[in-house]
Amino acid sequence: MQQQMLPPPQSKFNDIKEILMTAIAVTTRYETIKVKPVTPLIGAEIDGIDLTKSLEPQQVAEVRQALLDHLVIFFRDQPLTLEQHKRFGRYFGELHVHPNTTGPEGHPEILPIHADHNTVRIAGDRWHSDVSCDAEPPLGSILHLQVLPEHGGDTLFSNTYAAYEALSPGLQTYLQGLTATHDGEQVYRSRNRGKGIDDRDRVYPKSSHPIVRTHPESGRKGLFVNSNFTTHIDNVSREESAAILDFLYRHLAKPDFQVRFRWQPDSIAFWDNRSAQHLAVWDYYPQVRSGYRVTVKGDKPF
């Protein structure tokens, strides 16, 4: 593979249009897969690969490169079994076990994703990076949906590199010296109460992470706070924390940084939690949306 590099991490952009133009420079050549970008900034459709079969090392390497280039990648017509789903995830690292939701019997690494007429609130209906409350948050997540509503149920993804690069240089400098607390308590206990689950004996992860995270593979900087898990900025006043976080959440949610994925049965989305956030749209009640997710372990943000 030959790759023309993305803009270096130190590049400063004040204009979203300039970021969009620069992103077009991604021109990785692939030999074993076909990669079709969905937007200039984020998202690509992957074709020419059968994930129900074992993959060759070059295929795995090119899928990983596509993920690094495009932050979230999409596959169609991949009728995976649970074992095939886990095998695909393990090509990219050890699988994560969710701190709150149990998997199907015999599959602790599998996270069920299901909503129907009995659902009070879905998971993922706020912008977030998966389980960012962990001390070592997940590298990536691989969602396979099998049953879908007739209309709706899309997932939105946002490029956290572009969101950071669109900030003023002064705000970038200010944020680089700060950390923020991410807490699973508020998320999981609220969700469990809605389902009538008694979780009084559980202890949920809580961690502090840099607000500006450096991607361990690309070297690029991106914002790493989200409205789901982040509770406050450390070592600043409550008022300052609330004002800065509110601005960052609204900034990250701008359509300029986004791609919207429309699911079909047996579609797969594989996103990089280190450089993208996502939001599941719940516009299909009382219809069914159902599938499974595997999550790949990550490392400590820096």
Write out the catalytic residue numbers. Answer: 128, 130, 278, 293
Q: Which of 156, 154, 150 is nearest to 287 (CA)?
A: 150
Strands (E), 188-275: 206-210, 212-214, 221-223, 230-233, 258-261, 267-272
Calpha distance 106→214 (Å, rounded): 36
What's the CA angle centered on 38, arms 46 and 294, to 5 degrees?
Answer: 50
> 239-271 burial string, b = 16+ CB within 10 Å, else e?
eebeebbeebbebbbeebbbbebebeebbbbbb
